[in-house]
Amino acid sequence: MTDTQREATPPPGGVGHPSGLPRTDPFIPDGEVTETARVSRHRRRWLGRSASPESPDRGRTGRAVVAATVVLVIAVLVGVAIGPAELSLPQVLEALATHLPWHPHISVPPLDTAIVWQIRLPRVMLGVLVGSMLAGGGAAYQGIFRNPLADPYLLGAAAGAGLGATIVVVSGANMALTPPAAFAGAVGAVALTYLLGARTGRGGAAGAVSGTGSILLAGVAVAALLTAFQTYLQQQHTQTLAYVYAWILGGLSAATWSDVWLILPYVAVSAAALLAHRRLLDVLRVGEEEATSLGVNVPRVRLAVVVAATLGVSAAVAVSGLIGFVGIIVPHAVRLTAGPSYRLLLPVSMIGGAAFLVLADVVARTVQAPAEVPIGVITALIGAPFFLFVLTSRRARQDLS
Amino acid sequence: MISFENLTVRYGDTVALDGVAGRVADGEWLGVIGPNGAGKTTLLSAIARLLPYAGEIKVCGERAAGLSRRQLARMIAYVPQRPLLPPDMTVSDYVLLGRTAHIGYLRTETAADHRVCAAVISQLDLGAMARRPLRAMSGGELQRVVLARALAQEAPVLLLDEPTSALDLGRRMEALELVDEVRRERTLTVVSAIHDLTLAGQFADRLMLIAAGQIVAAGPTAQVLRDEVLTAHFGPGVQVMTTDTGDIAVISRRLARVRAPR
């Protein structure tokens, strides 16, 4: 039976039971319209109207999404405007306009156009995609595993990607194989973790709730194992150490449009799937047992979220390496400033993560120009103090779950 | 409405319920009583299919094991002993969680879902605090909020595990009166584990006494709340009295200390 069929089928035996509230007032017996009853009926009508069908949080979510989007647009403009070639803001905007379908006919030096369109914009766009995936994946994992320390690499994705990339580098294969190998390593590691963890944690015949704890522990074990392999390989081929190390530190310096187009489908599918689960992530805030009693098939939701997050995060890792802190700091900063509901948290984290990574990249490529600081260093250097500031500010006493 | 046969639940080697059988009729309030660790919570969790069991449970004539989570949640609303209350969640958002089984997998709630919640919220007099976070609510208010979520589920069966354990006596009575009121209005079947034997006798239609994983007595209140039945499981200090209003009260009595003769 598919879900939609279930949806259409009334609960067996439920016939005759009021499955929907009657449209007449069900709380006042017929012919007993007392003064209080009339007052309460009036009050109820009034309440019914003021507590409108719109969720009270919906306007708030909208405002937060708009605010985050404004920040993202500014971050993108900053990212495109700043670089070693000293273009003024008007020059950058003119160069940007040349590729728009309705652009004004102005003459822009081809070099400016190339700098903006072939060097800066792909890098900024890749930052947007990678940042949104890391932050969105982190937020989703924090919800699904009900663990504030969860980050997108929790189930072994980082270790698997690192091993995949190291194998390509040390085997002397074509470097173009690094992204697919990292992607395959990340997906494979998470799949291994999930198979081991979900099997151990499975309940009895009646389909009881299985624990997330065993999946998390399996993730720790798989990550340790794969990291051991990777370290071993790396030590056996010390001549490639610097390259492997640079890859693991991560960065956006090699970004091209083909990278952007390569990961865009994964990111789009992953983001859409994660956003579609945001209401269910809110239900999970009351714990797995109560979510189950409310009608949520917890193992299925968990699998769907993990698959979605893994696809997007693995694609991001494949083109940018292992960029830390974004997946844990951005969702918590959003949670502490805007609130813990996943309906708001998930979209705002994605947009905020994108803006954060773009700005971190601007810092990474300007503070020591023409040299670049690894972006992971910047995300930690900006992110950790900012996070601590938010943590110690007004909402710090509330829970982080 | 609910029946279970040969129901056995094990935690590892420990047998928590040992082949018990029973049934609850439509619209009935069954009070499940028994000493700590007897298996009351286990029975309720098993009926809600929240732990693995052997045997057969039927809800509304359907085998519970054959139903999807969503189908089961439309038949049974379960209130655990210690619900997990996200402190930052507002009352209205919390009550809305009760609609989960009525909302499609990846869909969001409709205006009808909001109407159901608004009606429940105003029925339980929570309208003024609908936008308050749960952290700002008192114990008695939280009890109503949790009940509101269960009622928003619109299931014909309500399972309550020690619904009033955290409340003072006055709030306990209010909470149970409220449960009684809504179950009459909506003809709900209620199964509640309950520690307070006097309140159990006053509110439930029928009592089921569980001890050490077995059902040792079941039937009308007066039949179960008897000295010889209770003292065997709650200790010799428990005494059943009938008040001048005809209510059965179960009281505790300090026994004289047995002194060793000199």
Query: Which is nearest to B64 in space by CA: B85, B78, B79, B50?
Result: B50
User: Whole-model pTM?
Assistant: 0.82
CB proximity B6 to A under 8 Å: no
Cβ contact (<8 Å) for A17 and B105? no
User: Which 74-103 residues of chain B touch chain A by CB within 8 A?
Assistant: 74-78, 80, 83-90, 92-93, 96-98, 100-101, 103
Range of the domain at A132: 74-392
A103 contacts: CB under 8 Å, gap ≥ 6:
A97
First to last CA, chain B: 61
pLDDT, tens digit, for every residue of A331-354? 988 988 888 899 999 999 999 999
Lowest mean pLDDT among A99-103, B14-18, B39-43, B249-253: A99-103
Residues B39-88: pLDDT tens digits?
Answer: 999 999 999 999 999 999 999 888 998 999 999 999 999 999 889 999 88
Name the token pair of A334: 């959003």
The answer to whether ipTM exceeds 0.85 is: yes
Q: Look at residue A257 and tell me if it is in a domain.
A: yes
Residues in chain B: 262
The answer to whether the CB atoms of A48 and B72 lie below 8 A apart is no
Please write the tens of the pLDDT for every residue from A275-304. 999 999 999 999 989 999 999 999 899 999
CA distance A284 to A302: 10
Tell me, yes or no, whether A46 lies in a domain: no
Distance in angstroms (rounded) separating the CA atoms of residues B211 and A222:
45
Q: What's the domain count of chain A? A: 1
Q: Which CATH number fits domain B2-252: 3.40.50.300, 3.40.1190.20, 3.20.20.100, 3.40.50.800?
A: 3.40.50.300
Residue spans of the domains in chain B: they are 2-252
Q: If you measure CA to CA, which chain A residue comes closest to B110?
A: A53
CB A95 within 8 A of CB A112: yes
Residue A283 at interface with chain B, using a CB cutoff of 8 Å: yes
pLDDT digits (tens, 9 = 90+) for B171-216: 888 889 989 999 999 899 999 999 899 999 999 999 999 999 999 9
In a domain, A13, yes or no: no
R_g of chain A computed on alpha carbons? 25
Q: Is residue A20 part of a domain?
A: no
Which residues in chain B are contacts of A3 at CB distance < 8 A? Answer: 70, 104-105
Among residues 21-60 of chain A, which lie with CB inside 8 Å of chain B?
Answer: 21, 26-27, 40, 43-44, 47-48, 51-57
- Does A303 lie at the interface with B, CB-CB under 8 angstroms? no
Which residues are registered as beta bridge partners of B208?
A: B32, B218
Q: How confident is the model at residue B29 (pLDDT cuts 50, 70, 90)?
A: very high
| Residues of chain A neighbouring B111 (CB-CB closer than 8 A) | 53
CATH of the domain at A206: 1.10.3470.10
* Helices vs. strands in chain A: H and E counts, helices first: 17, 0
Quick check: A135 and A330 in contact, CB under 8 A?
yes
